[in-house]
Amino acid sequence: MAGGAWKRSASLIVLFGCLFAFSIANEEASKLGTVIGIDIGTTYSCVGVYKNGHVEIIANDQAKNLAAVNPERTIFDVKWLIGRKFEDKEVQRDMKIVPYKIVNKDGKPYIQVKIKDGENKVFSPEEISAMILTKMKETAEAYLGKKINDAVVTVPAYFNDAQRQATKDAGVIAGLNVARIINEPTAAAIAYGLDKKGGEKNILVFDLGGGTFDVSILTIDNGFLKFVQQMETLTWEERILTRGLWSTLLD
């Protein structure tokens, strides 16, 4: 796919992700006041706010411009590290691919970055995620002209309790109360109003993201949504681009 087409595709994916997050934020707003919806994506992250009767999506991709010239100090895909142990196979796999350095600190994966004076500094995945959440929070505050304290954040359906708690911890570091952590497939169903339809039905949700392609099954029973099963998660690096290609490029 041409670079321009891929960028447009990725932007569209982010738009859907933010709409999913915002659909839940709108529900929480009646209890907490202004609540923003945040989608921490692999390719992009964005924030959704509701204003003048419609959703506004404000995206930012400044860091992408630095990746080519300073790869070791451009951190991405950090959400796949959050809440994991250093010895996890996913961590061991990814650390062979990413251009930045992942180190073991107290059994957890930390990102080592060389700061301006040449000194090495390590950051936890929660700290990196908090930086992203802080940027999204500041973007929303500048747009709305008021302070934001509460947010809804979407996460992949397969995130375990440790990963969900780590995402909440990142919110605390960023000065946000994460009112709800929502599975991305569930948020998608709500965004399309499927929870408003009566009766019982099964729904197959395809979540085509910049880093993964997730397929999930949901059951809706008179407005109640239940996550049934994560059918498959395909990573672009491992399945679509194939690990063989990456290995060849690295060699």
User: 36 and 177 in contact (C-beta within 8 Å)?
Assistant: no
For the ranges 73-77, 132-136, 159-163, 230-234, which has the lowest average pLDDT?
230-234
* Alpha helices, DSSP H, located in the chain: 3-32, 64-67, 89-94, 125-144, 161-173, 184-191, 243-250
Task: Tell me which of 3.40.50.150, 3.40.50.720, 3.30.420.40, 3.40.140.10 is the CATH number of domain 3-250.
Answer: 3.30.420.40
27-37 per-position pLDDT tens digit: 555 556 688 88
Mean pLDDT of 205-223: 76
User: 168 and 208 in contact (C-beta within 8 Å)?
Assistant: no
Domain boundaries, the chain: 3-250
Closest of 176, 164, 165, 162 to residue 133, by C-alpha: 176
Active site residues: 39, 79, 184, 207
In the chain, what percentage of residues exceed pLDDT 70? 63
Question: Using the 8-state DSSP alphabet, how is residue 124 labeled?
Answer: -
Crossing angle, helix 125-144 and helix 161-173, to 10 degrees? 50
109-164 per-position pLDDT tens digit: 999 988 877 788 999 999 999 999 999 999 889 888 899 999 989 888 788 999 99
pLDDT confidence of residue 213: 73
Which comes out higher in pLDDT, residue 52 or 161? 161
What is the token pair recorded at 146?
Answer: 């008021």
User: 37 and 152 in contact (C-beta within 8 Å)?
Assistant: yes
